[in-house]
Structure 1
Amino acid sequence: MSVSPTENVIRFGLFELELKSGQLRKNGSRIRIPRQPAQVLALLLERPGEVVTREELRQRLWSPDTFIDFDHALNKSVQKLRDALGDSAESPRFIETIPRVGYRFIAPVKENARRVIEELDEQTGDELPAEPASDKNTLILPTEPRTKTGWLLVAGCMAALLMGAGWLAYTKHEREQQIAPVHSLAVLPLDNLSGDHEQDYFADGMTDELTTMLAKDSTLRIVSRTSAMQYRRATRPLPEIAQALGVDGVVEGSVERSGDKVHMTLQLIQGSSDAHVWAESYDRDANNTVSLLNEAAMAIAKKTNSAVAERPPARYVNPEAHDAYMRGEHLWYSENNSDKAKDYFQRAVELEPDYALGWLGLSQYYGSNLLNGRMNPMEGLVPMEAAAQKAVELDGSLPDPHIALCGSIFFKEHDWARADRECMRAIDLDPRYASAYRMRARLFGAVNRHDEGIAQEKIATELDPSGDQWGLARSYLWARKYDLGIADARLRLESSPHNAKTLENLAALYRCKGMYEEAAQAWEDMFSARGDEVSASSVRRAFAEGGYTAVVRWNLADLKKQSLQHYVSPVLLALAHAQLQQREETLNSLEEAYRSRDPLLLWVQDDPAYDFVHSDERYRSVIKGMGLQPAY
């Protein structure tokens, strides 16, 4: 039995596929599935129980002028489809692989109302005259029913039609009522349908820039890229994802680049009801993706009644510079490779010196490595500030360049007031941007205004619940409110148990509270989360042999070993010496950090490990030299 292609909803098991939109649902809850896997499923459902060959799938789904690795693309689509259905190739319940031939849908397919009606018509055809209808919307009734049964059938049909019309009107009204206004939005990672993993950076870049443009072109609260990216290839129902991200709506879609052409599909889903609000597809030249994304962002803003005043058309960006920037962003966020990312950011500004995002990427590269203690401040502070200043000059309408400039001013000049003005400028540009509040929390933590810093982190957490999940715990750590910090970190780890930064802050919280066994365990878990099982084993062995003091000694030795290969901040060495109560070594390391204007010095007063040197004039000279007032 084949399924009529005119049927819009096909049901099987606990699932149903809506053919027109490609939406897959399980028990009424929508399951996120890319466009091509949905098309594969639709073709298989047309002929349940029959083999659909790979060649048929190729002809139906991939146009002749699309140059991709078809086998890889089809295999990937089928795998994504199986992931969504909870199926497997080894023990299939839905899709059976016919080796070297194709696929067969093996689960029972439920017949819908249309087929039941067609069968009823066939059974009663001898009682109702077959009269042609000149208009498909006109109901033709027999003028002289030949039997009593005929009259009853006619009356029944008319009653059913009237009831059906009323029900359709009612459900349409109810559906419109269910689609509540969208005030907050998450852009989920766009699926790369090019069939080439090397194009993942392009899909990620398009996702990132659409997120940025929506924040710029609408009054919507847009969750951060980092928060949304954790749902790459997720098969959880969209209402669950929306609830976890704390948003009213979700944008999902796919992008496919083939040669010099780009095809992008987007749809907007209302989070709580899983209702389809808007959908559009775009086809553009690959050199014109910036205007494509701007058009899409404005369409979504208008659909949600959140569009801001018309802005000037998007400025032309050199396609090669734009591509280099997207590659850098992908390496930065997805592969955590800052050195290679920096090369691409540098390439972007060389190709187009007035490209604001390229300069922003460079500033963020320097700032991140300075805060990680892996870059000599004498080499990083000046270019960090110069790149941030350039980005602000080129496009002051974006909040991120102002945040980068805030950090560079504070790190390099220690000018708290001027740095905070840049941060406030970012908030003025986008009051819903969580990163600006998180930067302010850093500033308040350094100048001992901890209650204000905690308040800023709480605002950021409310705006972006799945963002930097360790931020509030860190502010509690700086404020020496260890119980609150531990409770918050543990809460975050329930949903993200392998977040290395949360585990790092939890280890510090335990250590400051004197819970050394728990601190060592959190350290071990942190290294495991980073994929560094060698260090995790070293921590475990050191604690077993000599307790937490042995763990600190191992850390000090490891830092010294690393310093032979790359720069290691003296502040990291000072903290290890301080935990071992080594006064001279602690002060020497702090003074060395001061001479290089190491920004990590800005927060040393917040750690109780240094309390034993607070009365030392050498220590106080370092603090005052950084422009800070002694706190203890």
Structure 2
Amino acid sequence: MPTKVGSLRMIGQTLGHYRILEKVGSGGMGVVYRARDEQLERDVALKVLPSGTLSNDASRRHFRNEALALAKLNHPNIETVYEFDTQDGTDFLVMEYVPGKTLADHLIGGALPEKEVIALGMQIAAALAEAHEHGIVHRDLKPANIALTEKGQAKVLDFGLAKLLRPRDETTADNLSSTQGAAGTLPYMSPEQLRGEQVDARSDIYTIGAVLYEMATYRRAFGEPLASRLIDTILHEPPVTPRALNRRISPGLERIILKCLDKDPEQRYQSAKELVVDLRRLGEPASSRTASPALTPKDHSKAARSASYFVAGSLALVVLILGLNVGGWHDRLMLHPRSSQIRSLAVLPLENRSHDPEQEYFADGMTDEMITELARVSALKVISRTSVMRFKNTDKPLPEIAKSLKVDAVVEGSVQRVGDRVKISARLIHARNDQELWAHSYERDLSNLLGLQHEVAQAIAGSIEVTLKPDEQAGLQRADSVDPGAHEAYLKGLYYWNKRTPEGLQKALQYFQQAIEKDPKYAPAYAGLSNTYAFAPELGLPSAVAKEKQKAAALKAVQLDDTLPEAHTSLGGALEDDWDWSGAESEYKRSIALNPNYATARHWYSVLLSVLGHHEEALAQARRALDLDPLSLVIQAKLGGRYLYARRYDEASQECQKAIEMDSGFALAHDCLGFAHLQKGRSDAAVAEFSTALNLSHGDPQSISALGYAYAISGKANEAAAISTQLENSSESKYLPAYFIAIVEAGRGRKDEAITWLERAYENRSAQLPDAKTEPMLDSLRSDPRFRNLIRKMGLPSELPTR
């Protein structure tokens, strides 16, 4: 085969009467050029065979005879072979030039719609059937050997060349070359071909099954990266069923694919014609698959005629109802839901199609940003990230997922990053009947990524026929610009921030700062930075230092982009830590106005309202947050907390129990249930819950404090005293909120000590101290003037109306 330099030198040269114009491809069977046939004035594909392939005149004669047999194939889906020739020791094959792209190129955009899989599958199978009738087996069928014309017609390339160029030693598992390894021919080879057995047309049937599988799922039937492991799986293991990878595949197409891929040739289709028939049947409308027998009216009785009149009348009525869509019956009977019926949706995690685990942050980030864009539409309920991420890599059916999330529709898709280009494929699916309502693929430069996200969100909103407010329309059409490097760093920061681990938060901090360095005017990076500083203990930062940085970053984010909901929520949290209650409330309200679907804003606002004593409003916001993020453990447990502060303990127990049912290993939920048990006089049950929470949280001070309080009110004075001493000793060597020690002292009946610790918490501006306003465990201190004064110093009147 010509080397890279040699390939370049061929450009402009002439072989026979073919002038070489450009190189279009290369592989183990040679280098392919586009050339000009100067006699017939047409472009041809000229394949220069690897040097030494045909070592003597006898082998050339054999090759020429076989090439002539290939030239007799005349089929619209087979690349035509024109001639074989030799010039100055260079052997070349002249074939039809097929402009366009290969199926492998086409599949970069993701799995194909079933209609396209069937249409292309029929064409490829028809090409195989034609060749098999002439005794020619392809032996090397794969997406790279299937060209797609500009009109979408399939052309199978390189028929029979695998045998011609390897006539003496068939490719087997024992002599695979590097070019036929896990990334090349091997994934498409039949088991009998790998074993070195005699192959026939049924080997091609297996291979087309592998190609159909990849078209339908965007994954190879066997995708092991190591050749040895790949060979073993092809020989001995069944493939993952296609519908487990792509829920849009019909059972009929899955059956056809798996029949092709049967390891036993006797169990596959015995001819490509049989496969064409089944694919054609699958692609036909259901009404045309069977024909009704002709009626012979001369034998009909009067009763039969009456029955036929009744049926005809009934059919006419049904047609009228369907045609007029009376009461929406056309949509119900035909299972075609109107897109205007969709008022809630979930964006499922986009699949990372880059085949690179290091790009997982990018796929998750694209999911986050698509959720954020759609969530701005006030007429839609859009489920938050926490809940949808629970369905990452799941094989649950879409209707089941939609039922869990309580939505009408779901958006699913994939993202693939190739160099400086990004490809996004998305589909909108109605949940009730798993019907696709809209689908599209996009490809853009990374520099235009934000514009792409706006475009996708606008297309989805348009397909749902939802009415956009002028500001929402403007938001989806705005032309944001950001340094691509800054945006990439931001996505990485978001990815690690969502892990909520000390290591993850440290990395998030680094990436958000990196994003700001690359683009100092990128508001989302400042919002991310602010949210990260909210986790001061995990970052190992003094609380006062972290709060100052949190507020500064939030203010900068709002200054740069006053329309960014995340920025206002971050600022609201910072102002709440400053005990600027009215300022915090204004920011939360502004965030919710900008993004009514932002569950975090509603959740944080509910906590503030609870602190202020506005319990009904707090519960309304908390319930709405849970509606938007139904699988969030934190929001579910905190809803129980809002009921606790509203002194509605039965409902608090129910909500906390729901969180435990979602995840029995979630410590906060056990703390929540323990608090409810305490207020209902079930101190032993409370001790059990707090002990569980303590074990799960590995010594969280809140769980220790709650357990100490429970011991105290249940008469276990020694145990309560031991916990009080433990907390005090810990506070001398590291920061520990004084508020938690005050809780235990209040339970022990030591009011003076409890007040002293609360005053210390005030001096340290403890984040937990505002809870004292409504905390049931501090009820014994409410009549103390020092306690009421402490509440007033935080800007909270000691008595607030509930609303």
Count of aligned pairs between the two proteins: 537
**Aligned equivalent of 1:140:** none
Residues 1:599 and 2:764 aligned together: no
Q: 1:418 aligns with which of 561, 565, 583?
A: 583
Separation in structure 2 between the aligned mates of residue 340 and residue 553 of structure 1, nearest angstrom: 40
1:614 shift after superposition: 2.8
The TM-score, its normalising length taken from structure 1, stands at: 0.71
Q: Residues 121-160 of structure 1 correspond to what in structure 2 (within 5 A)?
A: none
Q: Distance in 2 between matches of 1:628 and 1:79?
A: 66
Paired position in structure 1 for 2:473: 309
What is the CA-CA distance between 1:602 and the residue it aligns to?
Answer: 0.7
Equivalent residue number for residue 451 of structure 1: 616
For 1:203 and 1:284, locate their aligned partners in 2 and report how far apart those are by CA, in whole Å: 15
Q: 1:492 to 1:278 in 2, by over 3 A?
A: same
Contact kept, 8 Å, 1:399 with 1:426, in 2: the verdict is: yes
Query: For 2:189 and 2:434, how far apart are their aligned partners in 1?
Result: 24
Q: Is residue 345–residue 381 contact of structure 2 (8 Å, CA) maintained in 1? A: yes
Tell me what 2:411 maps to: 251
Q: Is the 8 A contact 2:335 2:433 kept in 1?
A: no
Tell me the CA shift for residue 497 of structure 1. Answer: 3.6
Which of these residues, 457, 463, 488, is aligned with residue 323 of structure 1? 488
Spell out the pairing of 1:367-446 with structure 2 (5 A cutoff). 367-369=534-536, 376-412=542-578, 414-446=579-611
Question: Counterpart in 2 of 1:356?
Answer: 523
What secondary structure sits across from 1:610 in the alignment?
A: helix
Q: Secondary structure at the match of 2:788?
A: helix
- Per-residue deviation, 1:276: 0.6
Give the residue type in structure 2 aligned to 1:345: F
Unpaired segments ≥5 residues, structure 2: 1-76, 78-111, 119-185, 191-200, 246-253, 256-260, 285-290, 296-314, 324-329
Distance (Å, rounded) in 2 between the aligned partners of 1:411 and 1:107:
73
Matches within 5 A, 1:5-404: 19-20=114-115, 70-71=225-226, 81=240, 85=244, 104=263, 118=277, 174-177=334-337, 181-216=341-376, 219-306=379-466, 307=468, 308-311=472-475, 312-334=477-499, 336=501, 337-369=504-536, 376-404=542-570
Q: In 1, distance between residues paired with 2:788 and 2:464?
A: 55
Counterpart position of 2:793:
625
Larger CA Rg, structure 1 vs 2: 2
Which amino acid in 1 is paired with 2:573?
G
Moved more, 522-531 or 423-432: 522-531
CA contact (8 A) 2:671 2:693 kept: yes
SS in 2 for 1:257: strand
**What TM-score does the superposition give when structure 2 sets the normalisation length?**
0.57
Distance 1:315 1:20 in 2: 37
Question: In the superposition, relative to structure 1, how do residues 482 and 289 fare at CA in structure 2: closer, same or farther (>3 Å)?
Answer: same
Q: CA 1:525/1:297 → structure 2, altered by over 3 Å: closer, same or farther?
A: farther
Q: Deviations along 1:217-252, whole A, 9 cap, x unmatched?
A: 674221111121111112111111112112111111
Distance 1:499 1:58 in 2: 40
| Matches of 1:527 and 1:224, distance apart in 2 | 29
CA contact (8 A) 2:636 2:655 kept: no
Partners of 2:509 and 2:532 within 8 A in 1: yes
Q: How far apart are residue 292 of structure 1 and its match?
A: 2.1
RMSD: 5.1
Q: Secondary structure at the match of 1:396?
A: coil
Range with greater deviation from structure 2 (609-618 or 399-408): 609-618
CA deviation vs aligned residue, 1:524-583 (integer Å, no higher than 9, x gap) = 4445655889x999x99x999x99767766765665676577532222333233334444
Partner SS state of residue 518, structure 1: helix
Measure, in 2, the Cα distance between the counterparts of 1:180 and 1:42.
44
- Give the alignment of 1:479-498 within 5 angstroms: 479-498=646-665
Cα distance 1:573–1:596, how it changes in 2: closer, same or farther (>3 A)? same
Return closer, same or farther for 1:478/1:116 CA change in 2, 3 Å cut-off.
same
Question: Letter of the aligned partner of 1:454 in structure 2?
Answer: L
Match of 1:513, as an amino acid?
K
The letter of the residue matching 1:274 is D
Aligned to 1:145: none
Determine what percentage of the aligned residue pairs are the same residue.
Answer: 31
Q: Deviation at 1:346?
A: 1.9
Instruction: Tell me the CA shift for residue 358 of structure 1.
Output: 0.8
Cα distance change on mapping 1:548 and 1:200 into 2, 3 Å:
farther
Matched position secondary structure for 1:309: helix
CA 1:335 to 1:447, structure 2 compared with 1: closer, same or farther past 3 Å?
closer
CA contact (8 A) 1:346 1:358 kept: yes
Cα distance in 2, alignment partners of residues 574 and 315 from structure 1? 50
Per-residue deviation, 1:304: 1.2
Q: Measure the CA separation in 2 of the matches of 1:42 and 1:271.
A: 35
The farther-off stretch of 415-424 and 555-564 is 555-564
Shift of residue 205, structure 1, vs aligned partner: 0.8
| Cα distance, 1:438–1:80 mapped onto 2, change above 3 Å | farther
C-alpha displacement of 1:211:
0.7
Evaluate the alpha carbon distance shift between residue 506 and residue 174 of structure 1 in structure 2; reply closer, same or farther with a 3 A threshold: same
- Aligned partner of 1:310: which letter? A
Q: Give the 3 Å change call, closer, same or farther, for CA 582–259 of structure 1 in structure 2.
A: farther
Which amino acid in the other structure matches residue 457 of structure 1? A
Match of 2:776 in 1: 608
| Paired letter, 1:270 | H
How big is the shift at 1:188? 1.0
**Distance across 2 between alignment mates of 1:331 and 1:106:** 49
